[in-house]
Amino acid sequence: MLDRFYGFTSGWIRFLLTAQQLSQALEGFRFEVERQKLNWGQPEPKPEQAAMLLGQIQQFHKQVLGIVNDETKTWAAEFTEVLRQIDEQVKLASQANQRAALQLTVTNGDQCSDGWIITVDERAPEKRLGKEASIEVLPGIHTIRINGQINGKPVQVEQAVKVGPGEIQKMEFTLV
């Protein structure tokens, strides 16, 4: 995570590639200056030759600025993306710790003479009486199973539900 945040690995690779680009640009500039010096015929350039050399210097300067600018843009884009990813991970982690709840109504639960049994996911079954139950859960997808007996006949219902962080999901069931 630290390597990703600070960009050590990708930063080092970009540094090497940028250094290589700058070295190549400098080498090309030096060769061009020496080529121009060959045309001088004397130690000092004539005004038009000096103007050509200044043009070459200006072109080299623009090339270096372009390389540095491209690298800075790449770094900024990568850093922004890493910050976005870290922000997403922090949000997901904080949401995972938030509680949620299920508010259940079993329309015919009061017809179960001995109550009804509710199981959420792999939790221990809980016995309930009447028609309603509230259960605290973590955000996510949960499987709800309700069993009971009406007039001596086994009845049940099962359903999956998705509950968001801090959400109270209201559901209605009928045992059949």
Whether residues 114 and 164 share a domain: the answer is yes
Helices (H), the chain: 2-6, 8-38, 47-97
Structure confidence by residue, pLDDT tens digits, 28-81: 999 999 999 988 888 899 999 999 999 999 999 999 999 999 999 998 998 888
Query: Residue 84 belongs to what domain range?
Result: 2-97
Whether residues 125 and 81 share a domain: the answer is no
Whether residues 119 and 32 share a domain: the answer is no
Q: Which domain-ending residue is among 70, 97, 124?
A: 97
Whether residues 73 and 104 share a domain: the answer is no
Cα–Cα distance for residue pair 78/70, rounded to 1 Å: 12
* CATH number of the domain within which 157 lies: 2.60.40
CA-to-CA dists, residue 62 to 29, 65, 69, 90, angstroms: 12, 5, 10, 41
Q: What is the mean pLDDT of the chain?
A: 91
Structure confidence by residue, pLDDT tens digits, 139-163: 889 999 999 999 999 999 999 999 9
Whether residues 85 and 137 share a domain: the answer is no
Whether residues 155 and 77 share a domain: the answer is no
Q: Which domain-ending residue is among 65, 97, 129?
A: 97
Q: Which domain-ending residue is among 97, 122, 145?
A: 97
Structure confidence by residue, pLDDT tens digits, 71-112: 999 989 988 888 898 888 888 777 667 889 999 999 999 999
Whether the per-residue pLDDT at 24 is higher than 80: the answer is: yes
CA-to-CA dists, residue 119 to 101, 128, 136, 146, angstroms: 14, 11, 12, 6
Side-chain-side CA neighbours of residue 26 (13 Å): 6
Domain count, the chain: 2
Strand pairing class (153-163; 126-128):
unpaired
Cα–Cα distance for residue pair 175/155, rounded to 1 Å: 5
Whether residues 106 and 87 share a domain: the answer is no
Whether residues 117 and 62 share a domain: the answer is no
Quick one: DSSP state of residue 125?
P
pTM of structure: 0.50
Contact 165, 95 (CB under 8 A): yes
Whether residues 144 and 62 share a domain: the answer is no
- What integer pLDDT is reported at residue 40 of this predicted model? 87
